[in-house]
């Protein structure tokens, strides 16, 4: 027979391939291929049936032509025919052709599936393997549909050959990856897990890949694999290098299997069973011990295999984070690697150490390597290694070594790679702030930073310096002195000028006593930099100048001269021109008192997440430095800076008591009602004018920094709407019943904290509130809109009914007398004891021209004010969502949209609600999901929210579906009610 005599050589194919290789040009190759294709076509077309050998040969040629990049549009049928051959080589070529060429939507798929099915049910292991490989290679959904049920059976059947089991496990893994919904393990789970006990190492290796993948999706079902994996691991680790024969790689027993086992264990928490855990710890210790042994071979493969296991073990140790002993040993091991001559090892060691540094057990151990790491930062030739070294330094920093690390990083910064400079700057800035015990050190460091790497200092860094200097009285003098000195350098960076301008403008008076830094010297110094700066900086400097006029009246004429010069007052830049004109007018018209009020020292900034930290997070993306570490840092930073925060609060209260409210708060009352201006006496109108002007300026001024309070523009936009809607008759005598529209007013404040609560022709009540944990503080501003004084002005806050036990409200008394056009402030402290639904009532009584006015409002205190936002990843969110699955925990509402569906507006509202708006969590990008924890004194109530807008609901109206789930049913219900009114 020809097939036998010709053997498997396929001479025709060899000749064809050598012909192609000998072609001198592309054209010649195409000619040769065309000829061959014509030949194959005539052979396939020919009436006499081809024998298996020729079929195989021609299909092979077609495959070769296809792989050369030519289209093949025939021969599929012949390839499918080959599948039913009994010869291995023919079947193999058939499967090969199909894996490479057949796409899933082909009509032939049914025939192919049939052939595969036959092979799978045959008892011939090689045929079964071929079929499994084909399924895995094609891996389409159709294949999964047809065979997903069959393969697990083959995998766990007792009589299946080892090689087939291996293929089946990997094939199943592939199908699971492409269409997880079709691969249902259910009944097979335990038997698959028991494959870990298989005699054959190959089967174990294949099965473990499958199990790792499956257990990531449903960890609980595969929990039993932990103990099996541990025992398997211990057997491998304790075996001598000769025990495993085929699976020993350069004297390392089964390195791949060990790595996979260790990785599987990383999917689970430490085993609870003491014996298992002991065994595992023993294994890990053995691995660490082995690393200390002298290498059995000088070959690089030996050390690679060994180190692979070691690093996998170390990441398991870090993952468990519960064995101090192991953590320290791992750290020491990594410390050795830090000085290894292999660059890759040093890189890996630095990277692993970063995670080790965040563990409380090994933090100290990591710190011992600080010198080595600093050395690495300075001497490594590869920038990626240096980057890791910088990361590690950042991670290992704490109060004890902060000064050293910051100093080292600063000195390195001068020579650092441009690609990592910005990140280094941010890190230095964060560390300096976080561990600053002595704030003069902090100021020095940051100013140094700006001096060394000014170009890489982002806006956030210098914003932060100013926030801190303003919030801390004790450094202001020092800061002013230092920036003054720094500015004396002939060339200083623009960021330095910005910081200098701002700080001298605020606190220049603190150093004015020294004749070397007299006001005029300060001004001249700043002004000498003016012309070298960009427009935003110049604008800032102009604001600093007007502040100078306030601080040092003796500089007034000089500064007015500067402002009056054509280069300012006729500047082509609108912003600069406006500032110059306004400041000039302000300085020449307003009395010193007015100036002092308008240009008062900036109020302390509210404590918030450090803007630099946010920037670093954004820059690094998730995963680079563990987010926990950053959170921890933030918390620590908050504690450390707590003193400053309290100081800030204190001064704010002091300001309000002195009844010289800060400009931004005052604007709230006075700027919103244009009719007032008309009715008000001349003194009042002047005040209003000045304020509005100052307000604009102030706005501009604040635009450079992040404004400490909500921008007054937005208040202006929201304010006036109410003044018309509130008729005077609402002033009722009955103190118990609130105004009819007070519910509506309440709803207005669900998503915002500041604004105008109430307004009629006599009175305007502005509100400003802040909440932290379960505590809240509310500032109420009562503005007298008339020219006549209010007498016996009293306010009382009551908690009706059961609210008394839910909310603790304390209010300070207010001045009983409000002059015409004046404004008084009241502070109300609120403590949330447990969750509540009603709102406390505010009763206001006063006499206006003899008539008693009495009105009752609801204070806008709603449960959502006590939210703490919680960031979480997508799977966390859905896991928690599922946990809150009891029917009473969920509240749902479907309602019509009151306003247009504007994504930005919706986002702003949800953010105002106080929950964290989670991006990229819901599969549908239209939907919004939020998470937060309500802090009450009694308990914490976790809540999740999902808002699904539907722009094209039936009847053309826009609808929303709001679902709230929280651990307490009343909370869900109340939140749902509150929110339903908002959209």
Partner 1 sequence: MIGGLFIYNHKGEVLISRVYRDDIGRNAVDAFRVNVIHARQQVRSPVTNIARTSFFHVKRSNIWLAAVTKQNVNAAMVFEFLYKMCDVMTAYFGKISEENIKNNFVLIYELLDEILDFGYPQNSETGALKTFITQQGIKSQHHTKEEQSQITSQVTGQIGWRREGIKYRRNELFLDVLESVNLLMSPQGQVLSAHVSGRVVMKSYLSGMPECKFGMNDKIVIDKQGKGGTTDDSGKSELGGSGKQSIAIDDCTFHQCVRLSKFDSERSISFIPPDGDYELMRYRTTKDIILPFRVIPLVREVGRTKLEVKVVIKSNFKPSLLAQKIEVRIPTPLNTSGVQVICMKGKAKYKASENAIVWKIKRMAGMKESQISAEIELLPTNDKKKWARPPISMNFEVPFAPSGLKVRYLKVFESKLNYSDHDVIKWVRYIGRSGIYETRC
Residue list for the binding site: 11-12, 43, 53, 57-61
Stretch that binds partner 1, among 41-49, 170-178, 779-787, 793-801 (CB under 8 A): 41-49
Distance CA 786, CA 757 (A): 18
Distance CA 73, CA 448 (A): 70
107 binds partner 1 (CB under 8 A): yes
Closer Cβ to partner 1, 28 or 905, answer by number: 28
Query: Which helix (H) or strand (E) is 233 found in, with range?
Result: helix 225-238
3-state per-residue secondary structure call for 530-543: HCCCCHHHHHHHHH
Where helices occur in 7-70 by DSSP H, the ranges are 11-22, 26-45, 52-67
Closer Cβ to partner 1, 78 or 119, answer by number: 78
**Contact present, 377 and 394 (Cβ < 8 Å):** no
**Contact present, 501 and 526 (Cβ < 8 Å):** yes
Closer Cβ to partner 1, 102 or 120, answer by number: 102
Q: Give the shortest CB-201-to-partner 1 separation in angstroms.
A: 44
Closer Cβ to partner 1, 31 or 812, answer by number: 31
Closer Cβ to partner 1, 34 or 104, answer by number: 34
By CB under 8 A, name the one of 17, 44, 693, 770 that touches partner 1: 44
26 binds partner 1 (CB under 8 A): yes
Which positions ≥6 away from 11 have C-beta within 8 Å? Answer: none
Nearest CA to 781 among 743, 808, 748, 754? 754
β partners of residue 231:
none
> How far out from the chain centre does Cα 50 lie?
65
Write out the binding residues for partner 1, residues 53-72 only, by CB under 8 A.
71
Nearest CA to 94 among 41, 138, 56? 56
570 binds partner 1 (CB under 8 A): no
Q: Give the shortest CB-118-to-partner 1 separation in angstroms.
A: 23
Stretch that binds partner 1, among 27-35, 164-172, 375-383, 400-408 (CB under 8 A): 27-35
31 binds partner 1 (CB under 8 A): yes
Q: Give the shortest CB-33-to-partner 1 separation in angstroms.
A: 8
Write out the binding residues for partner 1, residues 684-743 only, by CB under 8 A.
none
Q: Considering only the C-alpha atoms of the chain, give the largest distance between any 2 of them, rounded to a whole number of Å.
A: 126
3-state per-residue secondary structure call for 362-422: CHHHHHCCHHHHHHHHHHCCCHHHHHHHHHHHHHHCCCCCHHHHHHHHHHHHCCCCHHHHH
Stretch that binds partner 1, among 28-36, 201-209, 506-514, 824-832 (CB under 8 A): 28-36
Q: Give the shortest CB-105-to-partner 1 separation in angstroms.
A: 11
Nearest CA to 867 among 746, 964, 767? 964
Query: Which helix (H) or strand (E) is 755 found in, with range?
Result: strand 755-759
Q: Give the shortest CB-392-to-partner 1 separation in angstroms.
A: 41
Write out the binding residues for partner 1, residues 583-622 only, by CB under 8 A.
none
45 binds partner 1 (CB under 8 A): yes
Q: Give the shortest CB-34-to-partner 1 separation in angstroms.
A: 5
Q: Cβ of 172: how many Cβ atoms within 10 Å? A: 31
Distance CA 865, CA 338 (A): 50
360 binds partner 1 (CB under 8 A): no
Q: Give the shortest CB-18-to-partner 1 separation in angstroms.
A: 17
Closer Cβ to partner 1, 25 or 924, answer by number: 25
What does the block give as tokens for 976? 């749902």
Q: Give the shortest CB-44-to-partner 1 separation in angstroms.
A: 6
Stretch that binds partner 1, among 21-29, 143-151, 742-750, 777-785 (CB under 8 A): 21-29
By CB under 8 A, name the one of 11, 14, 15, 38 that touches partner 1: 38
Distance CA 627, CA 634 (A): 10
Handedness of CA 777, 857, 867, 949 (dihedral sign): negative
- For residue 368, give Cα distances in angstroms to 292, 339, 348, 965: 20, 14, 18, 48
Closer Cβ to partner 1, 106 or 940, answer by number: 106
Closer Cβ to partner 1, 41 or 608, answer by number: 41
Q: Cβ of 32: how many Cβ atoms within 10 Å? A: 16
Handedness of CA 543, 547, 549, 552 (dihedral sign): negative
Write out the binding residues for partner 1, residues 404-443 only, by CB under 8 A.
none
39 binds partner 1 (CB under 8 A): yes
**Contact present, 443 and 482 (Cβ < 8 Å):** yes
25 binds partner 1 (CB under 8 A): yes
106 binds partner 1 (CB under 8 A): yes
How many chain residues are in contact with partner 1, going by CB under 8 A? 20
Q: Give the shortest CB-48-to-partner 1 separation in angstroms.
A: 14
35 binds partner 1 (CB under 8 A): yes
User: How many C-alpha atoms does 529 have within 13 Å on its Cβ side?
Assistant: 32
> How far out from the chain centre does Cα 827 lie?
35
Stretch that binds partner 1, among 30-38, 187-195, 517-525, 952-960 (CB under 8 A): 30-38
Q: Give the shortest CB-26-to-partner 1 separation in angstroms.
A: 7
Which positions ≥6 away from 56 have C-beta within 8 Å? Answer: 10, 82, 89, 90, 93, 94
Closer Cβ to partner 1, 38 or 951, answer by number: 38
Q: Give the shortest CB-60-to-partner 1 separation in angstroms.
A: 18
Closer Cβ to partner 1, 99 or 126, answer by number: 99
Closer Cβ to partner 1, 9 or 46, answer by number: 46
15 binds partner 1 (CB under 8 A): no
Closer Cβ to partner 1, 34 or 325, answer by number: 34
677 binds partner 1 (CB under 8 A): no
Distance CA 170, CA 205 (A): 10
Query: Position of tokens 């300026």?
Result: 697
Query: Position of tokens 């806008």?
Result: 860
Closer Cβ to partner 1, 25 or 242, answer by number: 25
DSSP annotation of 239: S
Q: Give the shortest CB-143-to-partner 1 separation in angstroms.
A: 19
Site pattern 69..88 for partner 1 (x: CB under 8 A): --x-xx-x------------
110 binds partner 1 (CB under 8 A): no
18 binds partner 1 (CB under 8 A): no
Distance CA 825, CA 821 (A): 14
DSSP annotation of 490: S
Stretch that binds partner 1, among 34-42, 189-197, 517-525, 852-860 (CB under 8 A): 34-42
By CB under 8 A, name the one of 6, 12, 17, 32 that touches partner 1: 32
41 binds partner 1 (CB under 8 A): yes
Which positions ≥6 away from 619 have C-beta within 8 Å? Answer: 422, 423, 426
Q: Cβ of 721: how many Cβ atoms within 10 Å? A: 12
Q: Give the shortest CB-912-to-partner 1 separation in angstroms.
A: 54
Which positions ≥6 away from 403 have C-beta within 8 Å? Answer: 435, 441
C-alpha distance across the termini of the chain, in Å: 83
Q: Give the shortest CB-79-to-partner 1 separation in angstroms.
A: 12
Which positions ≥6 away from 64 have C-beta within 8 Å? Answer: 13, 16, 17, 20
Closer Cβ to partner 1, 37 or 763, answer by number: 37
Closer Cβ to partner 1, 78 or 312, answer by number: 78
Q: Give the shortest CB-37-to-partner 1 separation in angstroms.
A: 8
What does the block give as tokens for 959? 């609808």
By CB under 8 A, name the one of 9, 18, 21, 24 that touches partner 1: 24
The binding site for partner 1 (CB under 8 A) comprises 24-26, 31-32, 34-35, 37-39, 41-42, 44-45, 71, 73-74, 76, 106-107
């Amino acid at each position: 027979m020809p097939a036998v005599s010709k053997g498997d050589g396929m001479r025709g194919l060899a000749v064809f391939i050598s012909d192609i290789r000998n072609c001198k040009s592309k054209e010649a190759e195409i000619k040769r291929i065309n000829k061959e294709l014509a030949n194959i076509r005539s052979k396939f077309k020919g009436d006499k049936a081809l024998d298996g050998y020729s079929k195989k040969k021609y299909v092979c040629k077609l495959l070769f032509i296809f792989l050369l990049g030519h289209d093949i549009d025939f021969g599929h049928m012949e390839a499918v025919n080959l599948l039913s051959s009994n010869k291995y080589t023919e079947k193999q070529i058939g499967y090969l052709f199909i894996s490479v060429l057949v796409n899933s939507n082909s009509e032939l798929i049914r025939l192919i599936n049939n052939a595969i099915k036959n092979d799978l049910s045959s008892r011939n292991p090689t045929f079964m393997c071929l079929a499994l490989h084909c399924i895995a290679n094609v891996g389409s959904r159709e294949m999964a549909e047809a065979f997903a049920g069959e393969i697990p059976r083959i995998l766990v059947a007792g009589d299946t050959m080892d090689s087939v089991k291996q293929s089946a496990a990997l094939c199943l893994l592939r199908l699971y990856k492409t269409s997880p919904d079709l691969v249902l393990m259910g009944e097979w789970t335990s038997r698959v897990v028991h494959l870990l006990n298989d005699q054959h190492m190959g089967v174990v290796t294949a099965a473990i890949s499958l199990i790792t993948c499956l257990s990531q999706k449903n960890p609980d079902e595969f929990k039993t694999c932990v103990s099996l994996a541990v025992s398997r691991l211990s057997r491998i680790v304790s075996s001598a290098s000769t025990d495993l024969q085929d699976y020993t790689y350069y004297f390392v027993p089964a390195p791949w299997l060990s790595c996979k086992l260790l990785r599987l264990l990383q999917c689970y928490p430490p085993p609870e069973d003491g014996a298992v855990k002991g065994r595992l710890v023993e294994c890990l210790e053995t691995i660490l011990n082995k690393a200390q042994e002298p290498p059995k071979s000088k070959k690089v493969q030996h050390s690679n295999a060994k180190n692979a296991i070691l690093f996998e073990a170390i990441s398991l140790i870090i993952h468990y984070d519960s064995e101090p002993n192991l953590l320290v040993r791992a750290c020491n091991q990594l410390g050795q690697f830090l000085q290894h001559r292999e660059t890759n090892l040093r890189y890996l060691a630095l990277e692993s150490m970063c995670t080790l540094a965040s563990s409380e057990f090994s933090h100290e151990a990591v710190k011992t390597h600080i010198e080595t790491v600093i050395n690495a930062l300075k001497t490594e030739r590869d920038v990626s290694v240096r980057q890791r070294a910088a990361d590690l330094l950042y991670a290992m920093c704490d109060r004890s070594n902060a000064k050293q690390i910051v100093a080292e990083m600063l000195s390195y910064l001068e020579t650092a790679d441009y690609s990592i400079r910005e990140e280094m700057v941010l890190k230095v800035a964060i560390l300096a702030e976080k561990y600053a015990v002595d704030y003069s050190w902090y100021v020095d460091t940051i100013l140094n930073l700006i001096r060394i790497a000014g170009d890489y200092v982002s806006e956030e860094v210098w914003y932060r310096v100013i926030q801190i200097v303003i919030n801390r009285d004790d450094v202001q003098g020092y800061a002013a002195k230092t920036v003054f000195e720094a500015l004396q350098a002939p060339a200083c960076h623009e960021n330095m000028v910005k910081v200098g301008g701002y700080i001298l403008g605020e606190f220049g008076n603190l150093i004015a006593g020294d004749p070397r830094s007299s006001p005029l010297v300060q001004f001249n110094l700043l002004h000498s930099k003016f012309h070298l700066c960009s427009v935003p900086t110049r604008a800032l400097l102009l604001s600093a100048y007007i502040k100078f006029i306030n601080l040092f009246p003796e500089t007034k004429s000089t500064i007015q001269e500067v402002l009056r010069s054509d280069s300012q007052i006729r500047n082509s830049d609108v912003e600069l021109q406006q500032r110059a004109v306004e400041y000039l007018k302000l300085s020449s018209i307003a009395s010193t008192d007015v100036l002092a009020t308008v240009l008062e020292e900036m109020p302390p900034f509210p404590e918030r997440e450090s803007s630099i930290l946010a920037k670093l997070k954004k820059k690094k993306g998730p995963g680079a430095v563990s987010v926990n570490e950053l959170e921890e840092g933030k918390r620590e930073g908050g504690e450390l800076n707590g003193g400053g925060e309290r100081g800030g609060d204190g001064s704010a209260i002091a300001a309000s008591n002195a009844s010289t409210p800060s400009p931004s708060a005052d604007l709230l009352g006075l700027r919103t009602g244009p009719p007032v201006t008309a009715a008000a006496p001349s003194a009042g109108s002047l005040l209003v004018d000045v304020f509005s002007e100052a307000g604009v300026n102030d706005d501009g001024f604040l635009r450079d920094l992040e404004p400490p309070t909500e921008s007054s523009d937005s208040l202006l936009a929201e304010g006036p709407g109410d003044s018309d809607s509130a008729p005077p008759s609402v002033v009722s005598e009955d103190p118990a019943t609130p105004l009819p529209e007070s519910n509506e007013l309440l709803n207005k404040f669900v998503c915002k904290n500041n604004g105008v609560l109430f307004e009629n022709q006599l009175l305007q009540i502005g509100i400003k509130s802040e909440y932290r944990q379960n505590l809240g503080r509310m500032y109420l501003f009562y503005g007298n809109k008339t020219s006549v004084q209010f007498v016996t002005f009293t306010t009382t806050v009551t908690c009706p009914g059961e609210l008394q036990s839910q909310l603790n409200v304390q209010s300070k008394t207010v001045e009983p007398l409000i002059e015409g056009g004046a404004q008084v402030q009241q502070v109300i402290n609120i403590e949330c004891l447990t969750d509540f639904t009603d709102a406390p009532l505010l009763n206001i009584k006063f006499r206006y021209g003899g008539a008693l006015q009495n009105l009752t409002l609801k204070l806008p205190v709603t449960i959502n004010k006590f939210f703490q936002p919680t960031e979480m990843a997508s799977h966390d969110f859905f896991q928690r969502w599922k946990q809150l699955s009891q029917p009473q925990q969920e509240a749902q509402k479907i309602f019509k949209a009151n306003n247009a569906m504007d994504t930005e507006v919706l986002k702003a509202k949800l953010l105002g609600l106080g929950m964290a708006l989670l991006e990229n969590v819901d599969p549908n990008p239209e939907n919004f999901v939020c998470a937060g924890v309500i802090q009450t004194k009694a308990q914490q109530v976790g809540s999740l929210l999902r808002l699904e807008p539907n722009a094209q609901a039936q009847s053309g109206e826009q609808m929303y579906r709001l679902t709230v789930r929280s651990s307490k049913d009343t909370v869900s219900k109340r939140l749902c009610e509150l929110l339903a009114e908002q959209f």
